[in-house]
Every structure is written in C-alpha cells, then in structure tokens.
Structure 1
Amino acid sequence: MTSPRARLLPAVSILLPAASVLLLACAASAQAADAENEDNVTGKLGGRLHWDIADFDNDTRGAPNANDSDLRALWLDLSGKFYGLNYKLEADFSGDEVLAKDVYVSKKFAPGTLTVGQFKQYFSLDDRISSNHMTFIERSYLVQNLAPTYRLGAAWLTARDGYTVGGSIYSLESIDVWQTEGLAVAARGTYAPWREEGKVLHFGLSLAHEDYDHPGADGASALRIRPRPAGIFSDNSRVTLADFSQGRDTRVDKYSLELAAVKGPWTFQGEAGGARFDDGQQEARLSTGYAQVAWMLTGEVRPYDAKAGRFGRINPQGRAGAWELALRYDTISGRQRPDGEPLLRDVQVSSLTAGVNWYPRPHLRLMLNWIDSRNRDRLQDLTLDRTRALVGRVQIDF
C-alpha cells in the first residue's frame, strides 16, 4: 500500500518549484511594468527583545525547578518589496546559535496570496497572534505541543469580507532543525460575523495531517510530547504524554476549534483541540484546550485583524499607559496504548495563570504572570508534581 508520505511527496515536489517559477515570472512582469517606479525595492528593519525571569515555588515531588532569567528573544528582521514580490528575513540571536524564523517571499494576486519559504503554518488562533501582542507570557499548551510553527513549504491565503481561508503543504523540517523528517498539510479557516471596534465575534477551525519518517532512528528527531507546565524554565516538571520514537513511520492528525470575542475593554478567547498519533503498532490521543479572559482597566479595546483572523497591538490612550488583567485555565492530556493492550500512560497537565500587563508605550510592555500548574497520572490517580511560578517579562519591539 502506498504510504501517505509517498502520496504527498509528488505534490510537494511539483508545487514548490511551480510556485517558485510563478513568483519569479510575476517578479519579472512587475519589473517590466514598474521599471520607472522608484519603489521597486524597499526595506524596513524591525525587531523585538524579550527578557524573561522566573521564581519557582516547588513542592517536594520530583526535581525542583531553579529560579532563572534569560534573554528569551532577540529578533531582527528585514521586510519589504522586491520588484513585485514581498519578502521577509527574520532571525533570533538570543541563544548560542542564530535561529531562522520567517524567511520567505510572497506575491499577492486578486484571489489571494502565495507564500514560499519558511513561515508559520496556518494553525490555531493562539499561534497566529504575534508574541508581541499575546496576552500571556507563555502560549497555550495547545500551541506549545501541537502547532507546526515555522516550517518550510508553500501556502495560499484568501481573505475576504469577514472570513479567511489558508492552507499549506510543508516539510516537517525547518532551516535549523533538519533532523525532523516528513511531510504535512495544514489548513485554517476563520469567520467573524461581528468585526467592528469594540465588538468582535470570531470562529475558527484548524486541521493538520503530518507524516513523520522513522522518528528516533537513522538520525531523525524523536517524536515526544512533553509540556513545560509552568513556563520555559520549568524543564524539571515535564512529563511525557506521548512517545513515538521507536523508528516507525508515524501519522499524526490534529485539529483546533477557535472561539473569541471582544466587548469593549473585555476580550474572551478559547480553543479546544486534539491529536491522534499512530505508528502501526500503538496509538495515542491528545486532548487539549484553554479558556481565557482579559480586561483593559484603562478602557482600551483590543484590535482585531479580519484579514488574518487574529488580534493585534494594544495602543495605550492615557499618559500613564494601559493596564490589563487576565486569567487563563489551560489543560492537556495524553493517553497512549499499544494495539490490543491496556493503556500504557494516561497523564494530564493543567494550569491556572493570572496576569497583569502594563503598556507604557505602544512598543513597550511589562508583564507579570502567576502560574499554578499540576501534573497527574490518571492511571494511578496520583499527583506527580505541583509547581507554582512567578514569571515576568520586559518586552520592547520596533
């Protein structure tokens, strides 16, 4: 029987070169048409700096997490136009190695926009919101463990009055993580029947299918789902929800349902999602979801971008800046079972996060989150770990 990866490979091998040729043809056409236009080539420099700190209150179960601080993000990007094409080159300089983020070219047509290169895939409201604009310091468990994020591929996005439809074919590799082998497809659709300032109602659906090649063997990356319960520094509290690292090709199907609303200074946002893993000898199912509410004490309204189906930047109105309070409940669980045998694992991770954000200026933000997380082994009806953390961030972007 032909594998899903074998069926996807011809499509990708045809689409990527065809898309590249199409973009080059459009660029040549634009160059000829705009030969006298001084704006054929433009460039704009941007970037962000996020400095995070964490202070932990560990219980006696498991290894304690150490208090820490680190430069979480130091991104620089160059974006603009090049003879009819839009481009973006973005990298993160915060770690020991420079990591590529958005590296792509795109072209707008009447029906929509074609993008080729490395970019965030169309999956999940929480992942589509920029880290500069999201309400909490950490993204939801759904995004941390299911979202494809930055991958190499080709994508199409159509945005019309109140709705968007986007899809992509992509490799599971990225520019920096080439050991994760396989191919995938993803799509996201959104609809906003209300989309005026101070009154927004948003619905969304994301789907993805991924085919991993021999994870954990022959140099390929392992495929494990291990959430960080209380933020980026809580590695010692991680538990395994699913493990498919025995070298067998693995199929993964994912979904996410979105609901969000804005009513004056109030924002409500939630998603429910899941995934099914299958390598022919065992199966795992993940269930995850979050619900959050935010209130702008100073009366600002969170803007909604209907063309992208996501929220944008808070702009403080007063001289003292804008203040925001937020609360989120987040959970993810994993059940894994060898074929024809009892459950191997049934583990749940959940957390409650309270946050306060201060926006002194549009491009400056200070954040403080209190996270109360808990890991449970539901097979043994046992709490494995409870970790609390006070987490802060200083954020500057331009």
Structure 2
Amino acid sequence: MNRYGSIFALAGAALINPVFADQAETKGGLEITSDDGNFSAELGGRIHFDTYLFDPDIEDPVSTTEFRRARITLSGQAYSWTYKLEQDFAAGNTLAGFRDVYIEHEFYAGYVRIGQFKPYRSMEELTSSNEITMMERPFSSATGFYDGRQFQQGLGWQNHWDCYTLGAMAYNLRNADTPRNEGVGAAGRFTWAPIDDDISTLHFGISLSYEDANRNSNPLESTADYAGRRGPTQLIALTPGDREFLFGDFDEPEFFVGGQGGSVRAVGLEFAGTYGPLYLQAEYLRGDNDGDYFISEEVFEDFFDAPPTFTCDPDFGCFIGDQDVQSWYIMGSWMITGEHKPYDMKKGVFKSAKPRSGWGAWELTARYDTIENKDIRSLEADSVILGVNYYHRAKVRFMVNVVLGDDEFTGDETKQLAFRAQMSW
C-alpha cells in the first residue's frame, strides 16, 4: 500500500469507528444515541392524504384531493436539553411548514420550552392530529376562533403532578413565515382527571387566552369552515391589526375606517370521559374580539358574504364594536370492537385506541359544533359530523366523515363527504 493509501485508510478508520460506537435502535422507530449518551436523534413523521367531495348549495366549492399533512420530525436530546424540529411539506414553503420547532429543559418539576409550539389552550387543539377523533378540529380551536394561530413563537412552561396539569405560554402572534412584529399573547391551561383507570377516565379543564394585535399585525379573525376543509368559510368576528389594514374614507363607496389594533380574550371549559369503549368530549369557549370601526355595506357584504342584519348609518356605514363570540361542541365515539381510548395524564388529552387483534379496530363517531357572534344577529354557523374510523394498525388509520354544514347568516347548507388515509411513525 502506498503512502497516500495508508493515510486514507487511517482517516477512514478514524471516521468510521465513532459511528460504530454510537447505538442505533429500531424498536418502534429509528433512534440513534451517541456512545457517551449526550446526544440522540429520532426520526418520525406522518402522512395524511384527504379526498373531499361536496354537495353544494348556495356556495359552490370544488371537490378535490390534497396532502393534509406530510411531515418529517426530528427529535432527541443534546446534553440535558431536548429538542424537536418538525417540517410540514404540505404547507407550501419551508418557513410556512414549521410546526413544532423548539428546545426544552426540566424546570421546577416540569419543563420550560423555547421556540414555536402550540399555546396551552383547548383540549382538542393540543391533541395530536394523529389522535383526533374527527378529520378536522372544532370551531373552538385554531380551525375556528383562533383562525390561523395554531403554532406560536415564545416561551412556555408545563408541569404535571398526580392527576393535574398546568401550562402557561407567552408568545408572539407571528408564524415563522410572517413579518417580525405581529402582536403578543399569553395563554394558560389547567386540567384535573380525578378518575383514570383501565375502564374509565374523567377529565375537566379550563383555559385562558389573551392576544393583542399591536405593531404591524394582521387582523385577528374568527372563522368557521362549516362544511369541512376546502369548503365555504364564514367570517364570524374580526379585530383589525395594525398593518395599514383600514382603507378608504366616508365619502367613498367602499371604506373601512376606525381604530386599528385591539385584543382578543377567551376562556374555555373542557369535559371528557371514557367508560369502556364509549367516549364523550365537549368544550365551551367564550371570547371577546375588540372592535371600533366603520365599514360600508359593500365591504360588510364582501367580508361576511351577506348584507348586514342591522341598520347602518347612511353616512358612516356599519359600525362594528366589540364582538362577543360563543362556541361549543359535543363529540362522542363508540369503539364497536371493544377497545378503550387511553388518557395521557402528562398532557391532559386522550389518545387513539390501539387495535386488539390483527383484524384492526372500528370506531363510530359523531359531533355537533357551533359558533356564533352574539353582537351581529344571525351570524352563526353549525355543523353535524358523522364518521367511521378504521384502525388497521396502531399507526395506520382510515377515516370517513360526512359533514352537514349550516351557515345561518347566508343560508348555505353545503355538505361534504371526506376520506382520509393516514400513517405515522
């Protein structure tokens, strides 16, 4: 062997030996741990492929297919810190695809988390998309009241002891792909599960949320996709941001003038329980969207998809003040093959049942969901969802949802038939 061959052989041995010293495990996933135990990395992901078929009424949505989620997740440990980096390739671009991106460390019997993650509010919001009972979350989550504000950037802390959890987060309203100044917010959640055994679980929770649309903010909106995803959307409430959102003047046919910025406050109550194969979950949310602006009747109809249901001033248009929003849902399911939904005591949420046999597991589901602006008459949307879930394996699921939508403000009653093929690892 010549001199250069010897050098390359020695360099290769130096590079290869540390790799062989690391430990790789594949039980339940792919995980690599350094030989000194200070570093680890685990690869995960999920694929949710959906099909939407509509029965249109007044609105005319387009039936379609889409990758609802296509995520790769890298998580692990670096010394005494843990980390998670999750990218959703179905979101359109790299920054928009950021989901959970954070580091965390143990702190006062709990953990402190820094980065981008979900605020501690709404039981259904904090339930993983791999575990939710229906294909889409209810109106009391970021699918409705907190429209477009699911993952936020900030600092959070959560603790779990006995049958209680407590979490709080202070955050910026921006997402990774939006301007740097987008308001601030805070949220907190407390849960109590006095019963949790192999047969039954009983859960109670309460959450508080505050969002302030200050410098350079987008408007804070509450919406309702009452006929399912990719169907028609009804705007329920709007608090202007501070990014030159207001336009026009009173002497123009279309105008939106008044106070910019404002806040959104909310309180949520949670109840859930299981008894054998039966499951029941409900949440109630009461929120207040600040408002102090005038809009022309043309702009009102453009925003809310129907003429105002109240009298507007002939000179100053329609005044929108503070908007009291109410939302609640009740959801149930029956594992007809006898499985039981387990409870995650550390997070205060329920997980999907695991099949007991090689034939898989079947679940029947139903939900009634409603959201209403109490200060604008008839501004309300409802949906009834009936579904079937088939769990082929613990990480493979197929879902069918029939959504009966009802927009009381416009009179639209579009319906949807939706299918999902789902895998996670």
User: Same-fold call, TM > 0.5?
Assistant: yes
SS at 1:94 equivalent: helix
C-alpha distance in structure 1 between counterparts of 2:404 and 2:180, whole Å: 34
Match of 2:190 in 1: 189
SS at 2:124 equivalent: helix
- Kept in 2, the 8 Å contact 1:290–1:331? The answer is yes
Cα gap change, 1:352/1:155 in structure 2, threshold over 3 Å: closer, same or farther?
same
Cα gap change, 1:346/1:248 in structure 2, threshold over 3 Å: closer, same or farther?
farther
The alignment status of 1:362 with 2:394, answered yes or no, reads: yes
C-alpha distance in structure 1 between counterparts of 2:206 and 2:214, whole Å: 27
Structure 2 residue runs of 5 or longer lacking an equivalent are 1-33, 241-245, 247-258, 294-320
Match of 1:331 in 2: 370
Match of 2:233 in 1: 238
SS at 2:39 equivalent: coil
Match of 1:149 in 2: 150
SS at 2:72 equivalent: strand
What TM-score does the superposition give when structure 2 sets the normalisation length?
0.78
C-alpha distance in structure 1 between counterparts of 2:341 and 2:179, whole Å: 38
Displacement of 1:255 in angstroms is 1.3
C-alpha distance in structure 2 between counterparts of 1:95 and 1:117, whole Å: 19
Match of 1:223 in 2: 220
- Structure 2 counterpart of 1:202, one-letter code: H
C-alpha distance in structure 1 between counterparts of 2:91 and 2:121, whole Å: 26
C-alpha distance in structure 2 between counterparts of 1:151 and 1:38, whole Å: 34
> Number of residues paired by the alignment?
343
C-alpha distance in structure 1 between counterparts of 2:107 and 2:188, whole Å: 19
The alignment status of 1:386 with 2:425, answered yes or no, reads: no
Displacement of 1:178 in angstroms is 3.1
- Structure 2 counterpart of 1:373, one-letter code: G
Displacement of 1:249 in angstroms is 1.6
**1:83-118 deviation line (CA, Å, top 9, x unaligned):** 100100001001431310001000113421100110
Match of 2:408 in 1: 376
C-alpha distance in structure 2 between counterparts of 1:74 and 1:180, whole Å: 29
- Kept in 1, the 8 Å contact 2:238–2:291? The answer is no
Match of 1:82 in 2: 78
C-alpha distance in structure 2 between counterparts of 1:129 and 1:42, whole Å: 25
Q: How does 1:134-173 map to 2 (within 5 A)?
A: 134-143=132-141, 144-147=143-146, 148-173=149-174
What TM-score does the superposition give when structure 1 sets the normalisation length?
0.83
Question: Greater shift after overlay, 224-233 or 305-314?
Answer: 224-233
SS at 2:411 equivalent: strand
- Structure 1 counterpart of 2:381, one-letter code: V
Moved over 3 A (4+): none
The alignment status of 1:347 with 2:345, answered yes or no, reads: no
Select the residue among 274, 280, 290 that pairs with 2:329.
290
SS at 1:200 equivalent: strand
C-alpha distance in structure 1 between counterparts of 2:53 and 2:265, whole Å: 36
User: For the aligned residues, what is the CA RMSD?
Assistant: 1.7
Displacement of 1:330 in angstroms is 0.4
Question: Greater shift after overlay, 50-59 or 36-45?
Answer: 36-45
Displacement of 1:283 in angstroms is 0.6
- Kept in 2, the 8 Å contact 1:241–1:346? The answer is no
- Kept in 2, the 8 Å contact 1:179–1:221? The answer is no
Question: Greater shift after overlay, 147-156 or 262-271?
Answer: 147-156
- Kept in 2, the 8 Å contact 1:242–1:335? The answer is no
- Structure 2 counterpart of 1:244, one-letter code: T
The alignment status of 1:249 with 2:264, answered yes or no, reads: no
Q: Percent identity?
A: 34
C-alpha distance in structure 1 between counterparts of 2:171 and 2:333, whole Å: 34
Displacement of 1:232 in angstroms is 1.4
C-alpha distance in structure 2 between counterparts of 1:358 and 1:187, whole Å: 34
- Structure 1 counterpart of 2:394, one-letter code: P
SS at 1:259 equivalent: strand
Match of 1:21 in 2: none
Displacement of 1:225 in angstroms is 2.2
Structure 1 residue runs of 5 or longer lacking an equivalent are 1-35, 337-342, 378-382
- Kept in 2, the 8 Å contact 1:210–1:252? The answer is yes
Question: Greater shift after overlay, 355-364 or 241-250?
Answer: 241-250
Displacement of 1:325 in angstroms is 0.2
Select the residue among 278, 290, 311 that pairs with 2:350.
311
Select the residue among 30, 44, 47 that pairs with 2:45.
47
Displacement of 1:67 in angstroms is 0.8
C-alpha distance in structure 2 between counterparts of 1:109 and 1:211, whole Å: 28
SS at 1:66 equivalent: coil
C-alpha distance in structure 2 between counterparts of 1:258 and 1:180, whole Å: 32
- Kept in 2, the 8 Å contact 1:241–1:335? The answer is no
- Structure 1 counterpart of 2:343, one-letter code: Y
**1:141-191 deviation line (CA, Å, top 9, x unaligned):** 111123442100001111000000100111101212336710111000000
Match of 1:199 in 2: 200
